[in-house]
Amino acid sequence: MPGADGSVGERNAVVCGSLEKKMGIKASATCVMNFDDATGYLIGPESEGLECMFTFMNTARIGTAIQGVGPAELSYQWALEYAKERRSMRALSGKKDPEHVADSLIHHADVRRMLLTQKAIAEGGRAMLYDAARLADHMVEGHAAGDAEKAAKYDDKLGFLTPILKGFLTELGNEAANLGMQVFGGHGYIREHGMEQIARDTRIATLYEGTTGIQALDLLGRKVLLTTKGGAVRDFTARIANFARKHLTDRRLRPFAVELLKLTAQWNLLTVRIMLAARKDRDVVSSASYDFLMYSGYVTMAYMWARQAAAAADRLDNGGDDSEAFYKTKLATAEFYYERLLPRAQAHASSMLSPSKNLMQISADDMAFTG
Ligand SMILES: Cc1cc2nc3c(=O)[nH]c(=O)nc-3n(C[C@H](O)[C@H](O)[C@H](O)COP(=O)(O)OP(=O)(O)OC[C@H]3O[C@@H](n4cnc5c(N)ncnc54)[C@H](O)[C@@H]3O)c2cc1C
């Protein structure tokens, strides 16, 4: 510690307890620091430490959401390459590669389910992050122009989306990384292909900077119920509904627009029902929170897929920088997302409305019964 004259004084009682042996992110050297009996220095305003921490914490949460999406993309690229090379059995609809003894994996519908799930997560997640980045830009513009109202407005919009991005995209990033291993079969489990490393490195993203459970509490408990009384959901769903109404007449976009309008109504209804249930039973805020977060994530990603589909349809009609095949693939991936992944939102809706009793009725002691 520095002496009053700046000279080197007594050693502060700060010691490194150990280096952590982790499941993944091995290149990131983290350690346990012990501060017992150490002298601390106040580096910000008194009693505002938690508030100050949240300014960087929100940035870190969005950064961690990116850590869900990046590995999904990487895992997809490697799995796609492998699925084209590796051969196993014949496609059910008849030989696809007759010059070979077997067809490549990419011709099996179930392998396509895995690959397209990864693709839809990576591209849908990326769109969610770009959208958040635009909100952050508007917020910074507000600050730069001295327009506090604009800055606060976009800060609130980003604040609502932050736990959704962090919780949902890291959960789905893990799913995508695991699917990548699965496409590789037994070779995915063997280290030399690198697929298991992607799964290990992604695993921490649902944990640090606030676990999924804590993001879910922040979203439902704080951002939706406490601070805005459902207003945050009303505001965001109004934006989605506005977009959907504009695309009802386009035959390619209508199915997405109709589904989005149904979901915006449902999201508000679910919020009101949970608000009412939580008045009678406080455990509901926690018991419904994870499903509420995941539901919110699937609907937000559906909005992003519809926007990508709308952009692709527009470029197909009016010309764009990419190939026709690229835009058609966008529309087909949007269709896959709506028909194969979005139905999961309904399972979350049903689960979140179930009573907290089914989680709380077994005593802590009786939880030990197994068998
Ligand atoms: C490799 C690594 C590096 C890290 N680096 C840093 C760092 O640099 N700086 C730093 O400050 N921290 C760091 N952390 C800490 C990290 O942010 C925490 O581990 C994480 O926030 C989870 O907190 P916890 O471990 O205390 O879990 P706990 O709070 O004990 O949670 C355990 C489980 O219970 C759930 N849970 C807890 N409370 C509730 C509740 N009220 N309602 C519902 N569910 C609940 C959680 O969701 C979780 O599933 C790091 C962690 C790791 C693993």
Q: What is the pLDDT of residues 134-153, one digit of tens each?
A: 999 999 999 999 999 999 99
Asked whether residue 145 falls in the same domain as residue 274, the answer is: no
Q: Which range marks the domain in which residue 183 is found? A: 60-206
Q: Is residue 349 over pLDDT 90?
A: yes
Asked whether residue 83 falls in the same domain as residue 200, the answer is: yes
* Residue 142 covered by a domain: yes
The CATH code of the domain that includes 167 is 1.20.140.10
pLDDT at 56: 82
Distance 214 CA to ligand 1 centre (A): 9
Digit-coded pLDDT (tens) for 10-21: 999 999 999 999
Q: Is residue 49 over pLDDT 90?
A: no
Q: How confident is the model at residue 70 (pLDDT cuts 50, 70, 90)?
A: very high
Asked whether residue 220 falls in the same domain as residue 195, the answer is: no
Asked whether residue 225 falls in the same domain as residue 336, the answer is: yes
What does R_g of the chain's alpha carbons equal in angstroms? Answer: 24
Asked whether residue 133 falls in the same domain as residue 89, the answer is: yes
* Residue 10 covered by a domain: no
Asked whether residue 144 falls in the same domain as residue 251, the answer is: no
Q: In Å, how far are 68, 262, 342, 352, 355 from 348, measured between CA atoms?
A: 21, 15, 11, 6, 13
Mean pLDDT of 361-366: 98
Q: Is residue 50 over pLDDT 90?
A: no
Asked whether residue 66 falls in the same domain as residue 174, the answer is: yes
Q: Per the structure, how many domains does the chain have? A: 2
Q: Whose CA is nearest to atom 35 of ligand 1?
A: 213
Phi and psi angles of residue 188, each rounded to the nearest 5 degrees, phi first? -70, -30
* Residue 250 covered by a domain: yes
Structure tokens at 135: 């909100």
pLDDT at 54: 80
Final residue belonging to a domain, choices 206, 224, 253 = 206
Helix residue ranges, H only, 48-100: 49-85
Cβ neighbours, 10 Å, residue 254: 13
Contact 234, 157 (CB under 8 A): no
Please tell me the distance from the alpha carbon of residue 48 to that of residue 54, in angstroms, as a whole number. 10
Asked whether residue 193 falls in the same domain as residue 230, the answer is: no
Q: Is residue 52 over pLDDT 90?
A: no
* Residue 7 covered by a domain: no
pLDDT at 57: 86
Question: Which atom of ligand 1 is nearest to 25's Cα?
Answer: 1
Please pick, among 73, 123, 171, 209, the residue that the annotation labels catalytic.
209
Asked whether residue 141 falls in the same domain as residue 274, the answer is: no
* Residue 21 covered by a domain: no
Contact 105, 111 (CB under 8 A): yes
Contact 256, 243 (CB under 8 A): no
* Residue 50 covered by a domain: no
123 is catalytic: no
Final residue belonging to a domain, choices 181, 206, 231 = 206
Please tell me the distance from the alpha carbon of residue 271 to that of residue 305, in angstroms, as a whole number. 23
Best probe residue, ligand 1, of 50, 211, 285 (max atoms within 8 Å of C-beta): 211
Asked whether residue 199 falls in the same domain as residue 67, the answer is: yes
Residues at CB less than 6 angstroms from ligand 1: 20, 22, 30, 204, 207-211, 213-214, 217, 286
* Residue 9 covered by a domain: no
Best probe residue, ligand 1, of 52, 207, 284, 356 (max atoms within 8 Å of C-beta): 207
* Residue 339 covered by a domain: yes
Asked whether residue 313 falls in the same domain as residue 334, the answer is: yes
Angle at the Cα of 83 from the Cα atoms of 79 and 84, rounded to 5 degrees? 125
Mean pLDDT of 297-316: 98
Final residue belonging to a domain, choices 206, 232, 249 = 206
Cβ neighbours, 10 Å, residue 51: 10
The pTM (predicted TM-score) of the whole model is 0.96
Asked whether residue 201 falls in the same domain as residue 249, the answer is: no
Question: Which atom of ligand 1 is nearest to 212's Cα?
Answer: 47
Q: Which long-range contacts (CB under 8 A, 24 or more apart) does 311-317 make?
A: 313/250, 313/252, 313/253
Contact 207, 284 (CB under 8 A): no
